[in-house]
Amino acid sequence: MTGGDGDVTAAPAGPPPPLDWKFSQVFGERTAGEEVQEVDIISAIEFDKSGDHLATGDRGGRVVLFERTDTKEHGGIRKDLEKTDYPSGRHPEFRYKTEFQSHEPEFDYLKSLEIEEKINKIKWCQTANGAVFLLSTNDKTIKFWKVQEKKVKKIADMNMDVSKSIGNGNLASSSSHKSSHVVNGEYNDKSYTSLSKDLGLQSLRLPVVVTSNETSLVARCRRVYAHAHDYHINSISNNSDGETFISADDLRINLWNLEISNQSFNIVDVKPTNMEDLTEVITSAEFHPTHCNTLAYSSSKGSIRLIDLRQSALCDRHSKLFEEQEAPGSRSFFTEIIASISDIKFGRNGRYILSRDYMTLKLWDINMDSGPVSTFQVHEYLRPKLCDLYENDSIFDKFECCLSGDGLRVATGSYSNLFRVFGSGPTSTEATTLEASKNPMRRQVQTPARPSRSLSSSLTRVVRRGAESPGNDTNGNSFDFTTKLLHLAWHPTENSIACAAANSLYMYYASNESTP
C-alpha cells in the first residue's frame, strides 16, 4: 500500500507457501513381491553438517555412505553456486560411496545375553585432512570410524619376458627338470639355472611395490567405546566443542571424550535405589547445537529436561522442565504409553526443541516451559484403534522427527510408509502427507490443520474428522501397520528429505508452489 508521501508500506509477511514435493532418488528399491531380508532393513539415517554426505545403518550392522554429486560435477563451492542462477533448477543428487561392517553380533557370557549388530544411531563428526569421521552404535558398543581415500599400491613388473617364456614353451619344459640332493645336504637345482637362461635373466630381481594413481575408500575403526552401559543405548550426540559426545541408555547418560575410549563420566543417573520405584526411563538425548554446556533428554512420561553441565558433575537436577499438563477427564489406559517421547531434536539455532510421541509432534520454546508452542496431529485416525495397536505391539514403535534447516517446517513418519510435513510457523496451516514411493503424492490423506496449543474446538474438530475414516485413506486403501516409516532426516541447508522404507532409501526435494 502507498502512503501519502509516496512511500510504499510493506504488507505484513505471512507464512511461507506450501512446498511442492517431488521424487528425487531411490537406493535399494524392491521389486514387486520381493521379500526383504531382516538384516537389510535400514535402522538409522543421518546427514552431515554440510549436507554433502549421508549415512545409513541397517539391522545387519552395516554402515553405507552416500556423497553428493550435483555440486561436484559442476565444480565450485555450494555457497558460490547458490549465488548463481544455476542451482535453483536443480536438486541434491547423491551416489553410493562405500559401505563397511560396523558391528558384529556378540554374546555377553556373564549375562547370557545376545547383543545384536543392529545400528541404533549414527552421528557425523568433524572432517579433517580429506577424511570423514563418524560414530555408530548398537545396543552396547559405540565405535569411532575414519573413512578416507587411499592410493592403491601395486606390485611393479618383474624383469621377466613373459611372452618369450610362453612362446617357446621353455617355462613348462624347464619345470620338468629333476632336482638332485647330494649326501652332505647341499641342494643342486638345475631347473633354476635352466629357467634363468631360457628367460634371459641375468640376476634375480625382487618385485617393487609402487603407488598408483587409483584410489580406494578405506574405513578404519579408530576407537571402541564399550562396557559403559548396562541397558540398551538409545542415543548418541556430538557436542559443539568437537571433542566430546554423550551416549544415553534407559537410565543413564555418559559423557565421553573422543580421544579416550576407556573412560567416561556419568552425568545423568535416574536409576532408583529400589528398581520397584522406577516410574520413567530416558528415551532420547541430544546436545544443544551451539552451547557446549547444555543438553536435553526426554522421558517415557512425555517430559523433556534441560540440564546445564556447569551446575554439578552429576546433573541430577534439571535447569528446566518441559511437559504438557494433562487435560481433565482425558486419562485412559493408553495415556502414559502414547505420551512417551521417542525422539527429540534441537532446531539449528537451539531456540526450539521438536519432540515426537506416538500420536503427535510438539514444538517447544526453551524460553517458555509452560507448554509446547505448537502441536501437530500425526495420525489422529489411529486413536480408536489404540487397543489393536497395543495387542500387536505397534503402540511401542519409535518414530523419529526432524526439522528443516531454516526451522520453518517439521517432519515425521507414520504407517503405510507415509510421512508428514508441517509448517511450524505460528500462522502456517501447511500439513502435507507423502508416501515413500516414486510417486509421493499418490496417497494424499486429507487432514485438517494442526490444533493450537489450547484445547479449543479445533482439537475436537480434528479428532472428529480423523475418526470419520479411521482405517482408510481417501482412495479407500486400508492403512498397513506392518509398513512403518520410522527413520528420516532433513538436509541441513535445503528442502530435501531422506527417509527409509524397509531396505529402501527414498529421497525427495521440494520448491515453493508459487515459484515457476
Percent of the chain scoring above 70 in pLDDT: 75
φ, ψ at 237 (rounded to 5°)? -150, 130
CB 487 within 8 A of CB 57: no
Give mean pLDDT, residues 104-120.
Answer: 90
Placement of cell 510493506 in the chain? 10
Cell numbers 545376545: residue: 114
Which of 50, 118, 31 is closest to 486 using CA atoms? 118
Q: Residue with C-alpha cell 480423523? A: 466
Residue with the larger pLDDT of the pair 203 and 395: 395
Given this model, what pLDDT does residue 32 score?
73
pLDDT at 92: 83
413 CB-contact burial (10 Å; exposed 0-12 / middle 13-18 / buried 19+): buried
Percent of the chain whose pLDDT exceeds 90: 59
Between 458 and 111, residue with greater pLDDT:
111
Q: Is residue 263 pLDDT above 70, yes or no?
A: yes
Banded pLDDT at 159 (limits 50, 70, 90): low
Residues in Cβ contact with 492 at an 8 Å cutoff, skipping those fewer than 6 apart: 47, 48, 49, 50, 51, 348, 405
> Above 90 in pLDDT, residue 16?
no
Query: Can you tell me the distance from the alpha carbon of 224 to that of 412, in angstroms, rounded to the nearest whole number?
Result: 32
The yes-or-no verdict on residue 337 having pLDDT over 90 is yes
What is the reported pLDDT for 34?
80
Using CA atoms, how far apart are residues 482 and 486, in angstroms rounded to an integer?
Answer: 11
Residue corresponding to grid cell 492403512:
479
Q: What is the band of 199 on the pLDDT scale with cuts at 50, 70, 90? A: low
Looking at residue 190, what is its pLDDT?
A: 54
For residue 191, name the pLDDT band (cuts at 50, 70, 90).
low
Among 89-103, 116-130, 397-411, 490-504, the minimum mean pLDDT is found in 89-103
Q: 78-87, 330-339, 353-362, 471-480 — which one is most confidently predicted on average?
A: 353-362
Average pLDDT over the chain reads 81
Answer for the pair 223, 143: CB distance below 8 angstroms, yes or no.
Answer: yes
Greater model confidence, 452 or 227? 227
Residues 414 and 378: their CA atoms lie apart, in Å, by 7
Which range has highest mean pLDDT (3-12, 77-86, 161-170, 363-372)?
363-372
pTM above threshold 0.85: no
Looking at residue 198, what is its pLDDT?
58
What is the C-alpha separation between 343 and 284, in angstroms, rounded? Answer: 6
In the predicted structure, residue 476 carries a pLDDT above the cut 90: no
pLDDT for res 516: 39
- Mean per-residue pLDDT, 322-336: 84
Q: Is the pLDDT of residue 469 over 70?
A: no
CA atoms 174, 176, 177, 181: torsion sign:
positive
170 pLDDT higher than 60:
no
Q: Which of 73-82, 226-235, 420-429 shows the highest mean pLDDT?
A: 226-235
AA identity, residue 424: S
pLDDT tops 90 at residue 471: no
Q: How far apart are CA 359 and CA 386, in angstroms?
A: 10
Q: pLDDT grade, residue 101 (50/70/90)?
A: very high
Q: Worst-scoring range by mean pLDDT, 11-15, 133-137, 381-385?
A: 11-15
pLDDT score of 449 more than 50: no
Tell me, what DSSP letter sits at residue 165? H
Reported confidence tier of residue 351, pLDDT bands at 50, 70, 90:
very high
Beta-strand relationship, 19-27 and 418-423? unpaired
Q: Could you tell me if 403 and 410 are in contact, meaning their C-beta atoms sit under 8 angstroms apart?
A: yes
Contact of 364 with 403, CB cutoff 8 Å: no
Q: How many CB atoms lie within 10 A of CB 99?
A: 16
Q: How far apart are CA 470 and CA 189, in angstroms?
A: 88
Please determine, for residue 187, whether its predicted confidence score (pLDDT) is greater than 80. Answer: no
Q: Is the pLDDT assigned to residue 74 strictly greater than 80?
A: no
C-alpha cell at 399: 518414530
CA distance 349 to 369: 18
pLDDT confidence of residue 134? 97
pLDDT (0 to 100) of residue 73: 54
